[in-house]
Structure formats: C-alpha cells, structure tokens
C-alpha cells in the first residue's frame, strides 16, 4: 500500500479549481446554474456529462475487437477526456454543496484514494473497466 502525504497546497489548489469552475459555469450557464437550468432554460445534468465523456474516454482505447485491432491508445485524448470529466465533477460538487464543503469532500476523497492499493491494469480492457466503473458511479 502506497501512502502519500498531501501538502496544504493541494487543498488550496482544489479550492482554486472550484472557484474557477464556478466562474466558468456562471459565464456559460448563467449565475443561477446551480438550480440545474441554464440561463436559456436548458436542463443541466452533470452526471450525464460525466457518462458521455467517459464513453468518449473509452473510445480512446482500442477496445473494439472488430476494428483496428492493432491500434494504439490515444493517450492525448484520454487526458483531454479526463480533464473534461474533472470539470463536470467539480460542477456536480458545486451544484450540491457550498465551496468549502465541496473542497473538503474532494480533498478527503483524494486522501482516501491514496490509502488504497490500486492494481496496475494489465491490458486495455482492464483500463476500460476502470472507466466503466466511473460511469456506473456517475449514474448513482
């Protein structure tokens, strides 16, 4: 089991990301975005966003047994999709909690995750399964 000690700067960085995400959400969806509706009346569903970005993430892997069987993982797109998912997670947290509570929850989740020994994926399908689990969690 790997144990890493987080510095106080990590909590500050999470708080800064939450502040920036709130600013972005206000600019793109209106100041009342936490109500679940944009300023144009469109429903906001952060969980659906996470599921859809996770599907795009999975498509970055050569998981299809019938197509491009010798293809390589598009690591750059994996990174892009993970960042998109992180933005939606920040937004989901901010929709349901005040910023301080949200920061504390993300920080505690980070610390808890570091206490778990995660097995190294042995194959593309192992990596895809990790992202499928993320999709299932988003649907809860």
Q: Which of 37, 42, 38, 18 is nearest to 28 (CA)?
A: 38
Total count of residues recorded for the chain: 140
Q: Which of 86, 84, 101, 91 is nearest to 23 (CA)?
A: 91
- The pTM score is 0.87
pLDDT digits (tens, 9 = 90+) for 57-79: 999 999 988 988 789 999 999 99
Kindly report the CATH class assigned to 8-138: mainly alpha
* DSSP conformation letters of 2-63: ---PPPHHHHHHHHHHHHHHHHHHHHHH-TTGGGTB-TTSPBP-HHHHHHHHHHHHHTTS--
Task: List 37's β-bridge partners, or say none.
Answer: 43
pLDDT tens for each residue of the chain, 140 residues long: 444 556 679 999 999 999 999 999 999 999 999 999 999 999 999 999 999 999 999 999 999 889 887 899 999 999 999 999 999 999 999 999 999 999 999 999 999 888 888 888 888 899 999 889 888 887 77
**Residue 84's pLDDT is what?**
97
């Amino acid at each position: 089991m790997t144990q890493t000690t987080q510095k106080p700067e990590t909590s500050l960085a999470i708080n800064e990301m939450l502040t920036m995400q709130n600013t972005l959400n206000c600019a793109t969806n209106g100041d009342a975005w936490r109500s679940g509706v944009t300023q144009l009346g469109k429903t906001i569903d952060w969980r659906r966003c996470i599921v859809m970005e996770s599907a795009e993430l999975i498509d970055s892997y050569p998981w299809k047994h019938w197509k491009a069987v010798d293809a390589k993982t598009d690591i750059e797109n994996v990174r892009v999709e993970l960042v998109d998912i992180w933005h939606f997670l920040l937004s989901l947290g901010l929709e349901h909690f005040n910023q301080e509570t949200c920061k504390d929850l993300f920080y505690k989740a980070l610390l808890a995750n570091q206490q778990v020994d995660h097995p190294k994926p042995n194959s593309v399908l192992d990596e895809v399964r990790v992202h499928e689990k993320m999709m299932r969690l988003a649907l809860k």
